[in-house]
Chains A and B, each alone.
Chain A
Amino acid sequence: MAQTKYLMSNGLAFSEQRDMETLRKKALKGWHLKGFRFMGYELEYGEPEDVIYSIDYRVLAPDEEAEYFDMFSSAGWTHVCSEYNTHIFKATPGTAPIYSDIESKKEKIERLAEPVKWIVPFLVGMTFVFWLLFTFSSGVVESISRWIFFFFLVLTIPALMTLFATYYHRWKKL
């Protein structure tokens, strides 16, 4: 049985670069990225390795996968793992970066924001509806809607933070 451990992500929208750096340091100590886990990564123990990691966001149709991954492997980037629209690759230090132009890089951040953009209005709306409900009701309805309000609030805040982070990166980082 291979030894594995969990590494928590700092949130890709906030600090993608930091996550990739952390993964690199772990690989130098023999802990290699194996896959995604809830809000983080699963690492597997093996030989120490000097590698750099890069991430890309893209929804791929089944007939697009082969070509997409072949372009990366041809350029020296080995596919490590994927989950939904997120793909991580590794390469030896010095390999040319996966993004070579600013325009494409900007669109990458837009794609990262894509799912969040849809979820945020829904969550904000639900939070507001249940806030109204518990404010203007009484008894059982009030206490139930109060709980549902807090439930949505807990989801809305990180979702909003993620959305703002993607906007921030779009203008600041590039």
Chain B
Amino acid sequence: MSDSLQAMKSTPLKSTQGWITFRTDAWWVEPLLTLIILGSFGMYATWAALQGVNYQWGPYLSPFYSPNLVEWFPQWFGSWPFSPAVLILPFPLVFRATCYYYRKAYYRSFFTSPPACAVDITGQAPKSPLALLLGQGKGYTGETAFPLILQNAHRYAFYFAALFIFILGYDAIKAYVWTDGFHVGVGSLVLTINVALLGLYTFSCHSWRHLLGGCIDCFSCDKMTQVRHKAWERQSLLNEKHMQFAWASLLWVAFSDIYVRLVSSGVWTDYRLF
């Protein structure tokens, strides 16, 4: 059998079709939305991380600036000349960048490899310069060559992300503890929802699914594997929603920063519920 792809002649269909795809539905909507939202988040997060101010108010701490390095380790970070966020954000960034869901999202929208199913970016079709990282045509290397081979380290990013969930959990609890005692402000709820969504996103991770039980071949074999099977089964339910958690937590973590930032800069007023 020859490996040659079939030769497609020009078609009597509308001229816009047949160039990169014959799909007639709005296949471009999803990658475009991803591009816009992920791009906007990236820009906002970069801007917010570089500010270095307005990241705390009352008991609230922006998740971009958590842990509060300057407060916790003044001896090391007290004289740090830049925004502390630039030391913190790489961890969640690497977790999301190597995430099995986000890989799908950005390989489609940023790498156009492929932008959507059965949309063929070959020959004359315009491709993203990032596509070169995957290699093209016969030189395609996917995730086997540097730098994308580093995607295999996702589980290490997960370990750090999991650590962050505990830190952000501490922040969320602290957000109820005011100088005048226990109170609930809107910001307390914002930060609580934030850690909940991030927790769901982090612990619905595919690598975690593997480590919990996916790596086992015989679930019934002994007590330990039986327990891990149960855990794996439950985690799998979360894992199915990994994409939803990814987006919800992404948008909410940005909103949490915006909330703290605007309250701290006096644009918004934090409403105390009780």
Q: Do A and B come from one complex?
A: no
Residues of B within 8 A of A (CB): none
Residues of A within 8 A of B (CB): none
